[in-house]
């Protein structure tokens, strides 16, 4: 924490040139007159931030409380009219992104990358140990000073894992920047934790190596789908031959889709790759050497981006109108503007952006081997282990499984949970910690008023009040999403009405919905829920000093009325089973199988019915239909239903397979027991 007293009055600072901007703020170089010190001031327009003052307050508090050589700490902050000024040390080297854009478009050399990443990782280790998930790790937030000292910045979307005390398990809010965002953050299934930063760190490593993040040429919607569908990106391209095995391996360990299999930041820091990291002055001598001053660099980058924007905009408009007239897809010859796109959560915009790029755009991609590989690996990665085994089943073995397999192939291009992914873009999720009740109070942070952002003691970092927690939940999405959230808070993507029987307009729909409701309120749903719970992480507890963080849901689970006796797999010994105890389970499972089969057929019927409603359905793939911009409310409704059906088919299919597997196992046990009894 800074020893000097930085004045809390705008008059004491002389704003100079602009050196950076983000979605919510502009950053200026400035002179602190009384201290005669050059600083950077982040200026946020509070009027534009709508109701996200809590988010801003959290950023400022985090920036004031942290104290680590690799984390950018704010000197002070105060309001000036309708603006909030955050005074920070001036990082004359600028962000890694700006350095890349101005002089290293193809990425840095490995020792530079190792040095930048080691310093960034040290920051993450510190933040994670203090309960913070940064949630926006990327080259744009890695800053360098003139001596090559690296600092991680931008706590606009950071979250505290200890917000609700030691019962906090994981976060469930959709924040970050799509290219860097971990799959579990997109999916919002089981929440996420510190490991989300490890994924973003891996993406940042690729960004530093290639000069851009994977998928950065695609619009946000496409990025979401590709991250969920494709195998994780890595250093496997022809041009990556220059990188060491250790580097490739380090990236590989970060970019594992299952967060449990990713290392903690602490463990990652011990990876042999970082042995080649050098002291910070190495960065000053290499990448900072000869660079134009920050302000000048920033102006050049901005004007290049403006040119590119204008160029793309006119081409986009011309092609889009042509494509609309011909009802064709638009294949842009120019890439989506890398690094400028940021977030766009307007549904219509997202859909039209996604429609711009078709799956066969690989021909346009700059990384042909990458795209080939992705396509090749897509099926594998899209299939769960069960799917993989079912595809190995011969046709004579089981007709049901073949039906399922056919459907799977036709839907292989979908993310496993497309709705959650897309819903997350619009109905920004709340943190799942609502139910927890902290039994301690510390109002020291809350005393930081809207008008007066003062520093609080580091001891307060882990303690927040219930009130603040609620505030954090309300504001735990990026500031720039707030207005969009308002716009779509009623869930334009999946309108309430879609679920409502009132809006069901056809017999098929009605039948389908009826079955849906029946099954969801009955044992099937419960059985499914149990299965999901079983599958979810076993409580993963990390002890950090006096804190305990666990990624699993520790809230007391209510009793389930499942009619399924859970099969205990390897832990159950056949000897302990009797025919009488197993038989009811088998019968129940068989019964459920039958119900699910009916359900499944109904879904399939309904799915094809929906397809028929779409113009030109025989030639149009489901993927294309979902990416089309609906022209009428009816089309929009059908598109939404299609997505819902897609999800239902996938989950029912998986459930059915699981049940079948269990059936098989139980039948085997039953046979063994019967034989023994005989
Ligand atoms: N202390 C600093 N010294 C020098 N440059 C800075 C400093 N802080 C920020 N910048 C520059 O300003 C840019 C934008 O800052 P920042 O990321 O904090 O804004 P933001 O609105 O939170 O952005 P976003 O949310 O889009 O990441 C940074 O990428 C960096 O280039």
pLDDT digits (tens, 9 = 90+) for 125-166: 999 998 888 888 999 999 999 999 999 998 754 444 333 333
Residue with tokens 């101005």: 102
Which pLDDT value is given to residue 651? Answer: 67
**Nearest residue to 212 (alpha-carbon basis) of 186, 244, 177, 174:** 177
* pLDDT (tens digit per residue) in 394-408: 333 333 333 333 333
Beta strands 25-32 and 37-45: pairing type?
A: antiparallel
Please state, for a pLDDT cut of 70, what percent of the chain lies above it.
44
* pLDDT (tens digit per residue) in 518-548: 332 222 222 233 332 222 333 332 222 222 2
* pLDDT (tens digit per residue) in 252-310: 999 999 999 999 999 999 999 999 999 999 999 999 999 999 999 999 988 888 887 77
Average of per-residue pLDDT across 194-210: 95
Query: In angstroms, rounded to a whole number, what is the distance separating the alpha carbons of residues 101 and 95?
Result: 10
pLDDT of residue 603 exceeding 60: no
Which pLDDT value is given to residue 145? Answer: 97
Nearest-5° Cα angle at 563, 557 to 568: 70
Which pLDDT value is given to residue 602? Answer: 58
Sign of the Cα torsion 9, 10, 14, 20 reads positive
Q: Which of 16, 40, 42, 62 to mutate to test the pocket of ligand 1 (most atoms within 8 A of CB)?
A: 42
Distance 84 CA to ligand 1 centre (A): 15
Tokens linked to 411: 């839907």
Known catalytic residues are 136
Ligand 1, atom 18, residue with closest C-alpha: 154
Chain length of the chain: 678
Do residues 240 and 103 lie in contact, with contact meaning Cβ atoms separated by under 8 Å?
no
Nearest-5° Cα angle at 223, 221 to 225: 75
Q: Which of 162-176, 191-205, 592-606, 664-678 has the weakest average pLDDT?
A: 162-176
Cβ neighbours for 127, distance < 8 A, ≥ 6 positions apart: 66, 68, 71, 133, 134, 152, 158, 197
As annotated, the binding site includes: 42
Q: Where residue 235 falls among pLDDT bands split at 50, 70, 90?
A: very high
**Eight-state DSSP code of residue 93:** T
Cβ neighbours for 226, distance < 8 A, ≥ 6 positions apart: 215, 218, 374
Tokens linked to 373: 């590989």
pLDDT of residue 106 exceeding 90: yes
- The pocket around ligand 1, CB under 6 angstroms, is made up of 19-25, 27, 40, 42, 88-91, 94-95, 98, 136, 140-141, 143, 153-154, 156
Between the two ends of the chain, the Cα-to-Cα distance in Å is 79
Distance 95 CA to ligand 1 centre (A): 8
Which pLDDT value is given to residue 669? Answer: 86
- Ramachandran region, residue 671 (left: φ > 0; alpha: ψ -120 to 50; beta: rest): alpha
Ligand 1, atom 23, residue with closest C-alpha: 22
Reported in sequence order, the residue ranges of 62-216 that DSSP labels E, i.e. its strands, are 76-80, 83-89, 94-95, 132-133, 142-144, 150-152, 159-160
Phi and psi at residue 41, to the nearest 5°: -120, 125
DSSP per-residue string spanning 453-504:
-----GGGGG---HHHHHHHHHH-S-GGGHHHHHHHTT-SSS-HHHH-GGG-
Please state, for a pLDDT cut of 90, what percent of the chain lies above it.
27
Q: Which of 21, 22, 72 to mutate to test the pocket of ligand 1 (most atoms within 8 A of CB)?
A: 22
Tokens linked to 656: 């059915």
Do residues 93 and 146 lie in contact, with contact meaning Cβ atoms separated by under 8 Å?
yes
ipTM score: 0.96
Residue with tokens 């102006």: 299
Which pLDDT value is given to residue 283? Answer: 97
Helix (H, G, I), strand (E, B) or coil at 327: coil
Residue with tokens 């960065």: 283
Which pLDDT value is given to residue 227? Answer: 85
Q: Which atom of ligand 1 approaches the CA of 479 most closely?
A: 25
Q: Which atom of ligand 1 approaches the CA of 20 most closely?
A: 12
Do residues 173 and 474 lie in contact, with contact meaning Cβ atoms separated by under 8 Å?
no
pLDDT of residue 240 exceeding 90: yes
In whole numbers, what is the pLDDT of the chain averaged over residues?
63
Which pLDDT value is given to residue 436? Answer: 32
pLDDT of residue 443 exceeding 70: no
Distance 141 CA to ligand 1 centre (A): 7
Cβ neighbours for 611, distance < 8 A, ≥ 6 positions apart: 617, 620, 622, 625, 642
Query: In angstroms, rounded to a whole number, what is the distance separating the alpha carbons of residues 148 and 282?
Result: 7
Q: Where residue 324 falls among pLDDT bands split at 50, 70, 90?
A: low
pLDDT of residue 381 exceeding 70: no
Do residues 465 and 442 lie in contact, with contact meaning Cβ atoms separated by under 8 Å?
yes
Return the percent helix, strand and coil in the chain, to nearest 5: 55, 10, 35
pLDDT of residue 388 exceeding 70: no
CA distances from residue 407 to 1, 393, 654 in whole angstroms, order as listed: 59, 15, 11
Tokens linked to 511: 């039948």
Do residues 156 and 176 lie in contact, with contact meaning Cβ atoms separated by under 8 Å?
no
Q: Which atom of ligand 1 approaches the CA of 151 most closely?
A: 1
Distance 41 CA to ligand 1 centre (A): 10
Q: Which atom of ligand 1 approaches the CA of 95 most closely?
A: 31
Do residues 670 and 579 lie in contact, with contact meaning Cβ atoms separated by under 8 Å?
yes
Give the number of other Cβ atoms within 10 Å of residue 445's Cβ.
Answer: 18
pTM of the model: 0.54
Distance 184 CA to ligand 1 centre (A): 26
Sign of the Cα torsion 109, 112, 116, 117 reads positive
Radius of gyration (C-alpha) of the chain in whole angstroms: 27
Ligand 1, atom 5, residue with closest C-alpha: 94
pLDDT of residue 517 exceeding 80: no
Distance 22 CA to ligand 1 centre (A): 6
Query: In angstroms, rounded to a whole number, what is the distance separating the alpha carbons of residues 172 and 565?
Result: 30
Q: Which of 19, 43, 344 to mutate to test the pocket of ligand 1 (most atoms within 8 A of CB)?
A: 19
pLDDT of residue 449 exceeding 60: no
Q: Which atom of ligand 1 approaches the CA of 88 most closely?
A: 1
Distance 30 CA to ligand 1 centre (A): 14
CA distances from residue 581 to 577, 578, 592 in whole angstroms, order as listed: 7, 5, 18
As annotated, the binding site for ATP includes: 42
Do residues 73 and 67 lie in contact, with contact meaning Cβ atoms separated by under 8 Å?
yes
Residue 493 exposure: Cα atoms within 13 Å on the Cβ side: 26
Sign of the Cα torsion 180, 184, 188, 191 reads negative
DSSP per-residue string spanning 184-243:
HHHH-SS-B-THHHHHHHHHHHHHHHHSS-TTTTS-HHHHHHHHHHSPPP-S-SGGGGGS
Which pLDDT value is given to residue 225? Answer: 82
Beta strands 94-95 and 37-45: pairing type?
A: unpaired
Residue 606 exposure: Cα atoms within 13 Å on the Cβ side: 30
Q: Which long-range contacts (CB under 8 A, 24 or more apart) does 386-393 make?
A: 386/654, 386/657, 386/658, 386/661, 387/654, 387/657, 390/657
**Nearest residue to 475 (alpha-carbon basis) of 425, 427, 431, 437:** 431
Which pLDDT value is given to residue 243? Answer: 97
144 or 509, which is more confident?
144
Do residues 111 and 281 lie in contact, with contact meaning Cβ atoms separated by under 8 Å?
no
Phi and psi at residue 199, to the nearest 5°: -60, -50
Q: Which atom of ligand 1 approaches the CA of 98 most closely?
A: 31
- Ramachandran region, residue 433 (left: φ > 0; alpha: ψ -120 to 50; beta: rest): alpha
Cβ neighbours for 654, distance < 8 A, ≥ 6 positions apart: 384, 386, 387
Q: Which of 140, 207, 482 to mutate to test the pocket of ligand 1 (most atoms within 8 A of CB)?
A: 140
Reported in sequence order, the residue ranges of 539-640 that DSSP labels E, i.e. its strands, are 541-544, 547-550
């Amino acid at each position: 924490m800074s020893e000097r007293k930085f004045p809390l009055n705008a008059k004491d600072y002389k704003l100079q040139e602009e050196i950076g901007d983000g979605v919510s703020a502009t950053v200026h170089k400035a002179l602190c007159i009384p201290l005669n010190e050059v600083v950077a001031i982040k200026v946020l327009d509070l009027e534009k931030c709508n109701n996200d003052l809590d988010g801003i307050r959290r950023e400022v508090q985090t920036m004031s409380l942290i104290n680590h050589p690799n984390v950018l700490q704010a000197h002070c902050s105060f309001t000036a009219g309708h603006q909030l000024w955050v005074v920070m040390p001036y990082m004359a080297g600028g962000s890694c992104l700006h350095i890349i854009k101005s002089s290293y478009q193809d990425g840095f050399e490995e020792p530079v990358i190792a040095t930048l990443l080691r310093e960034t990782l040290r920051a993450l280790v510190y933040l994670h140990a203090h309960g913070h998930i940064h949630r926006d790790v990327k080259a744009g937030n890695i800053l360098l000073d003139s001596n090559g000292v690296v600092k991680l910045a931008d706590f606009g979307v950071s979250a505290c894992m200890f917000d609700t005390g030691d019962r906090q398990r994981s976060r469930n809010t959709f924040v970050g920047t799509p290219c860097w965002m971990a799959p579990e953050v997109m999916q919002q299934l089981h929440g996420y934790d510190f490991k989300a930063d490890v994924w973003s760190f891996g993406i940042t490593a690729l960004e530093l190596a290639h000069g851009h993040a994977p998928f950065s040429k695609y619009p946000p919607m496409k990025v979401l789908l590709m991250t969920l569908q494709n195998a994780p990106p890595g250093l496997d391209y022809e041009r990556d031959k220059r990188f060491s095995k250790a580097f490739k391996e380090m990236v590989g360990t970060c970019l594992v889709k299952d967060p449990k299999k990713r290392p903690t930041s602490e463990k990652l820091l011990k990876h042999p790759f970082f042995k080649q990291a050098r002291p910070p002055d190495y960065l000053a001598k290499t990448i900072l050497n000869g660079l134009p001053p920050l302000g000048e660099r920033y102006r050049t980058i901005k004007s290049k981006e403006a040119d590119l924007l204008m160029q793309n905009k006119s081409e986009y408009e011309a092609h889009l109108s042509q494509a609309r007239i011909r009802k064709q897809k638009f294949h842009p010859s120019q890439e989506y503007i890398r690094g400028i796109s940021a977030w766009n959560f307007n549904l219509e915009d997202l859909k039209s952006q996604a429609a711009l790029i078709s799956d066969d755009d690989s021909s346009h991609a700059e990384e042909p081997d990458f795209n080939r590989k992705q396509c090749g690996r897509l099926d594998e990665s899209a299939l769960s282990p069960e799917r993989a085994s079912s595809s190995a089943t011969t046709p004579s073995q089981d007709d049901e499984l073949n039906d399922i397999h056919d459907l799977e192939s036709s839907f292989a291009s979908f993310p496993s949970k497309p709705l959650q992914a897309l819903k997350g873009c619009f109905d920004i999720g709340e943190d799942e910690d609502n139910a927890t009740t902290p039994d301690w109070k510390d109002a020291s942070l809350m005393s930081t008023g809207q008008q007066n952002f003062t520093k609080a003691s580091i001891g307060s970092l882990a303690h927040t009040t219930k009130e603040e927690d609620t505030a954090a939940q309300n504001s735990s999405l990026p500031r720039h999403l707030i207005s969009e959230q308002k716009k779509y808070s009623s869930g334009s993507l999946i309108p309430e009405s879609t679920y409502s029987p009132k809006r069901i307009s056809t017999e098929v729909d009605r039948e389908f919905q009826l079955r849906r409701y029946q099954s969801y309120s009955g044992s099937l749903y419960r059985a499914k829920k149990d299965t999901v719970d079983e599958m979810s992480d076993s409580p993963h507890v990390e002890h950090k000093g006096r804190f305990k963080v666990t990624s699993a849901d520790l809230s007391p689970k209510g009793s389930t009325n499942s009619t399924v006796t859970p099969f205990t797999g390897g832990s159950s010994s056949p000897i302990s089973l009797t025919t009488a105890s197993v038989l009811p389970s088998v019968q129940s499972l068989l019964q459920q199988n039958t119900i699910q089969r009916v359900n499944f057929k109904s879904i399939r019927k309904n799915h094809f019915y929906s397809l028929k409603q779409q113009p030109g359905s025989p030639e149009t793939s489901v993927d294309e239909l979902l990416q089309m911009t609906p022209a009428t409310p009816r089309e929009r409704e059908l598109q939404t239903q299609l997505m819902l059906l897609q999800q239902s088919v996938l989950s029912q299919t998986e459930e059915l397979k699981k049940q079948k597997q269990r059936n098989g196992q139980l039948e085997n046990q039953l046979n063994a027991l019967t034989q023994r009894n005989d």
